[in-house]
Amino acid sequence: MKLAPSILTADFARLGEQVTRAERAGADRIHVDVMDGHFVPNISMGAPVVKSLRQVTRLPLETHLMISDPDFFFEEFVEAGSDSFIVHWEGNNNLHRTIQRVKSLGKPVGVAINPATPAAVLEEVLPDLDLVLVMTVNPGFGHQHFIHSTLPKIRRVRRMIQQVRPDCELELDGGIDPATARLGVAAGADVLVAGSSVFGDPAGVDAAMSRLRAATEDMVNNEKGVLCE
């Protein structure tokens, strides 16, 4: 199971230090939530933050674009140091073109679906994807509760991936803590985004990361997507 700390709820006054701590604690990548106040009701960060983070970490910077018209911004983020992109199915009338655009820039591409969006919308684009992100909260904020009704959909996405694109990663985003991490991995997730449970833990980033890892380490994947305890 891979861990991708989300910096949305990190202390921005100490962002570089917090990301370095997460890297030392074994993070597999850093999840950067870009929000434009239009696609979601919040404004977060842009390419300048990616550029600064590029100076302090060698970890992949996964860029989750919760913005209208992501096509206008890929080059700027690539120049700043983004390593991969996640775009939303919602609100994108030209998703196939957007996916091809990211691929033409030589970057891995993922598609995110919100809690109300069925897995079936992925059918046509899944063969081209490196990652599917199942939102386990409604996008826009950290510190929200995991939506348990997304679990059956996670299982469906896992089955679709196995049939169509076995190398595609299945990532969950929102409300991940040690308890929901177990539920998510049992449903078939490969990668977990965690914000407040990593950067908001009073015991610190190291302890928080260890707790998340410990919560799933006894779950072995004996056949991709089929987990047993």
- Known catalytic residues are 33, 173
Site stretch for Zn ion (CB under 5 A), options 57-65, 98-106, 181-189, 215-223: 57-65
Closest chain position to ligand DX5 (CB): 195
Contact 25, 214 (CB under 8 A): no
Q: Which of residues 26-55 bind Zn ion (CB under 5 A)?
A: 33
Minimal distance, residue 181 CB to ligand DX5, in Å? 10
State the pairing for strand pair 2-5/30-35.
Answer: unpaired
DSSP-derived letter for residue 72 is G
Cα dist from 94 to 34, 69, 88, 121, 122, whole Å: 20, 10, 11, 13, 13
Minimal distance, residue 222 CB to ligand DX5, in Å? 28
Minimal distance, residue 229 CB to Zn ion, in Å? 28
Binding-site size for Zn ion (CB under 5 A) equals 3
Site for Zn ion (CB under 5 A): which residue of 173, 177, 198, 227? Answer: 173
**Residue 199: other Cβ atoms inside 10 A:** 24
Residue 174 interacts with, from ligand DX5, Zn ion, none (CB under 5-8 Å by kind): ligand DX5
Indicate whether 171 belongs to the interface with Zn ion (CB under 5 A).
no
Residue 225 tokens read as 């997507």
Residues that bind ligand DX5 (CB under 6 A): 6, 8-9, 31, 33, 64, 137, 139-140, 142-144, 173-176, 193-197
Q: Which residue has the tokens 């998510």?
A: 184
Q: Which residue has the tokens 């063969």?
A: 127
Residue 100 tokens read as 């091809």
